[in-house]
A and B are shown apart, each in its own frame.
Chain A
Amino acid sequence: MLRRILSLIVKELLALLRDAKSRFVVIVPPLVQLFVFSYAATYDVTSIRLAVLDESRTQESRALLAAFQGAPAFAELVPVARDDDLSALVERRAVTAALHIPPRFAADLRTDPPARVSLVLDGRMSNTAQIVHGYVTAILLDFGRAWGAAHGWPAPPSVIVERVWFNPNMESLWVVVPGLAGVLTMVVALVVTALSVARERELGTFEQLLVTPLRPVEILIGKTVPALIIGLLEATLIVVAAQVWFGVPLTAPVWLLYGALTVFLLSIIGVGLFISSLVQTQQQAIVGAFLFLVPAIILSGFATPLDNMPPWLQAATWVNPLRHMMVILRGVFLKDAAPALVLDSLWPMAVIAVGTLAGAAWLFRRRLG
């Protein structure tokens, strides 16, 4: 039995790696995606263009504008003369936001604080609007504190002290790259397994396998192990790139990462084999894989937080292995997660893996019978 399975594994790996096309599929697209997505999938808001209407034209207002000029997130201040221009620039998206300093700004600041400025934000990108609002609030606080100190105001009774843990500079890259390790490994493992049986069916080699003394469970193991090996190699490639190229730290022990990856991959391979035994052609397999991948990625917390989803949908994400892997990946990369913490997300994946593999085995037998 061992020899038969070993032959299958060797054959599967050879078929995958000797064929230029399949070799390409497992190596090039994931790497390209890793690099493009890592840089493109950013929630950072930088290079802000701010339209400015300064109706105060005082030393104070100029000082405030200087504070904006000095802030790293702001690339350019676009001075305008009229309120209408301010709106027009926002409307045609020539600026990210607009600041209006009213004529009474300096007077209010001196005699009747707080002085008010108005900030026009573009709701067409509400996330950006919120972040810009946060930046502006922080600049105004700093400006106010400095101005107060210079003009003999008492020190404020309280200050905010911020600490960002796990990712001190709040770099999107540090968040995206570990997530991509999960997403891309999943895509490769799923496509490899979803296509494997379908391809053999199309080429006719599957019947050839079925007339040999191989049992269904042996065929399944022979399909699972190579996909696991490929998936782990793929993950290794990304983990190395994450550290060497992107400089993302790996804080937890490596064995923890690989243990979790193995369980994760098994759950994905189960899904892949399930699809594969359901379909007749590679085309259907690709459609099936796509139908699984898109929701799995969207509902994983990779791009947007799970907390924002409706509760029923949050509950439904429990069956998504990538959702659990996402927690583990961020934990082991950034948070130096303790094994107990990893275990919390590991056991649901283990349950899913057992479920999908058993489902695939059941369907496999049924389709053969």
Chain B
Amino acid sequence: MAAASDPLVVLRGVVKRFGRTAVVDGLDLAVAPGGVTAVVGPDGAGKTTLLRLMAGLLAPDAGTVTVCGHDTIAEPEAARADLGYMPQRFGLYQDLSVAENLALHADLQGLPPADRPVVFERLLAFTGLAPFTGRLAGKLSGGMKQKLGLACVLIRKPRVLLLDEPTVGVDPVSRRDLWAMVQALRDDGTAVVWSTSYLDEAERCETVVVLDGGRVRFAGPPADLTAQVAGRTHVVEGLSGDRRRIQRRANALPAVVDALIQGPAVRLVLAEGAAPPAAEALGDSAAQVVPVPPRLEDAFVALLAPARPAVPGVRLDVRVGKGAADAIAVHDLTRRFGDFVAADRVTFSVPRGEVFGLLGPNGAGKSTTFRMLCGLLPASGGTARVAGFDLGRAAPAARARIGYVAQKFSLYEALTGRQNLAFFGGVYGLGRRALAEAVARVAGGLHLDAALDATVADMPLGIKQRLAVACAVLHGPEILFLDEPTSGVDPLTRREFWRHINGLAEDGVTVMVTTHFLDEAEYCDRVALMDAGRVIALGPPEDLKAAHRTAEVPEPTLEDAFIAAIAAERRETPP
């Protein structure tokens, strides 16, 4: 008979092919009860396929998957009896209310009517959705939808709970709530499998499984993975020069596996057995290289980082505007939608060459502000000058001087990379010769030469992202706008992306970025934190962190600071 500690999900030699590519390629794994197993890996590593195999939604081409002792293919009904599965976008019925969605799932899962009041009350309290039972699911925020989805799966406490990237597109506050809900389950002996691209989430799990190319590269406690880079992590502090230049030089050193901007400092992960580089080697004799304790992300990058491309050498032909010192100057910028004030007297300015971040929870007004600055949305009041041009009067002139990378990297999927570049060059008025020259320069700098003649639809995510940047900088813009550029992207791709963006910033391009991924905000020189349409904090990330240092949290992360700042703001002016 099965013991209480026997694994609940067992995969043996599982292979799953789509066409000729094996997405899961000979995978063995056992998931024990009473804990959270994080599945991490770069995009395309097979995370979603793995979860679908466990849920019995896909049949393995080889090997077996058993859930609670039942084979998912031979005995699908038995295997599903104690299984809860929440797909990436949990299928809530948008036209049904919170209560109706719960009732439907209670019926589908055969919960006796007598038990319902108790179960519903517990779940509604648990999710904080009790005040919203009558609201249609389609009208809930992203975070609330995910919580409701989780509640639906938890109606009959499953012994195995599969969650596929539950926190993508969810702001930090809701992420914490979801995490707390799952924490409560581990005490009941439920086996939770949680796939994620956020390593800070994985760090808090009992087990982490690193997938790459459909195989398990590591499975075990996160601390064991982190221990692999013990003694290899350092921080370069007290920089006198540009931190981006330091990062670039560090990345070029063979001893350095990864260099990452972290506030005013640069974080280094060293190759195995390598000595920390001297400050001189980094081109800044004033700096000190100090050892720091490793994080899971350091180990993840060290484990998976392939031979990395050299740092970009894109040289942009930036036309510096006359007179105006600030690339962006916003004064009392306001946008109303009916009675709703989406952006309320927003004021800030961004000097040339700065990387500036707009942060805030969903609905804070950061997207509205961002869209106004790109000229996608007219302002209801106030002024905005971009590249020295007033958006209200000379929007086309301003638009000619900016580049824009949308969240979904808006490329024409049916066209090749070269055709996309030719198109965007053409609409910015580049002549044939100027275009050829710009394509050669930009594609070389962004390491796109090999991919230029492939169709965009066939490109991997990382290449698409670089191509989108290439299209946006072809005409030598003074300001580059990035809208949620790395949402749901794994740490490796994110690093590569920022390496290129930093290269552009070094060249003097001003970068304006919106994000709710707070690690990303660390790359910014300054950030504006928005809530309820207003800027509630403005300054360098380290200042923001320092402002929220307390006795309980002596070393706040940017996420801690972010949550504290919003909580403080809402206490002062309740919405």
Contact = CB atoms under 8 A, between A and B. Distances in A.
Interface of A: 3-4, 6-8, 10-11, 14-16, 18-19, 22, 203-215, 369
A203 B427 contact: no
Contact of A211 (B402, B408, B415): B402
Interface in B360-413: 374-376, 378, 396-397, 399-400, 402, 404, 406-408, 410-413
A209 B472 CA distance: 11
27 contacts: A3-B426, A3-B429, A4-B429, A7-B423, A7-B425, A7-B426, A8-B423, A8-B427, A10-B422, A11-B412, A11-B426, A14-B412, A14-B414, A14-B419, A16-B414, A18-B414, A18-B455, A204-B410, A205-B410, A207-B404, A209-B427, A210-B376, A211-B375, A211-B399, A212-B427, A213-B400, A213-B429
A211 B374 contact: yes
B406 A3 contact: no
B396 A11 contact: no
Contact of B404 (A211, A214, A369): A211
Contact of A10 (B408, B410, B423): B423
Contact of B396 (A3, A19, A206, A215): A215
Given A3-B431, A8-B426, A11-B423, 11 more contacts: A4-B427, A7-B422, A14-B414, A18-B415, A18-B455, A204-B406, A207-B410, A210-B375, A212-B424, A213-B428, A369-B378
Nearest to B423: A11
Contacts of A209: 427
Interface of B: 374-376, 378, 396-397, 399-400, 402, 404, 406-408, 410-415, 419, 422-429, 431, 455, 481
A208 B419 contact: no
Contacts of A204: 406-408, 410
Given A205-B411, A207-B376, A213 B423 contact: no
A215 B399 CA distance: 11
A6 B414 contact: no
A242 B423 CA distance: 37
Contacts of B374: 207, 211
Nearest to A208: B410
A7 B427 contact: yes
B396 A208 contact: no
A205 B424 CA distance: 11
Given A18-B455, A208-B404, A213 B411 contact: no
Nearest to A210: B376
Contacts of B414: 14-16, 18-19, 22
A64 B13 CA distance: 85
A233 B561 CA distance: 61
B23 to A, nearest CB: 23
Contacts of A16: 414
Nearest to B422: A7
Contacts of A14: 412, 414-415, 419
A204 B415 CA distance: 15
A22 B428 CA distance: 27
A369 B455 CA distance: 34
A214 B427 contact: yes
A282 to B, nearest CB: 14
B235 to A, nearest CB: 38
Given A14-B419, A22-B414, A211 B376 contact: yes
A211 B468 CA distance: 14
Residue among A11, A205, A211 with the highest chain B CB neighbour number at 10 A: A211
Contacts of B413: 19, 203
List 6 tightest A-B contacts by C-beta distance, closest first: A7-B426, A19-B414, A208-B410, A204-B410, A205-B410, A11-B423
Contact of A203 (B376, B399, B408): B408
Most buried by A among B408, B431, B481: B408
A203 B424 CA distance: 16
Given A3-B426, A14-B415, A213-B399, A208 B431 contact: no
Contact of A213 (B376, B396, B410): B396
A6 B426 contact: yes
A4 B475 CA distance: 13
A211 B376 CA distance: 7
B415 A11 contact: yes
Contact of B406 (A10, A208, A213): A208
B210 to A, nearest CB: 32
Nearest to B405: A208
Instruction: Find the residue from B396, B414, B424, B428 having the highest chain A CB count within 10 A.
Output: B414
Choose among B404, B412, B415, B481 the residue with the greatest number of A CB atoms under 10 Å from its CB: B412
Nearest to A206: B410
A105 to B, nearest CB: 71
Contacts of A4: 426-427, 429
A16 B376 CA distance: 26
A213 B430 CA distance: 12
Contacts of B427: 4, 7-8, 209, 212-214
Contacts of B422: 7, 10
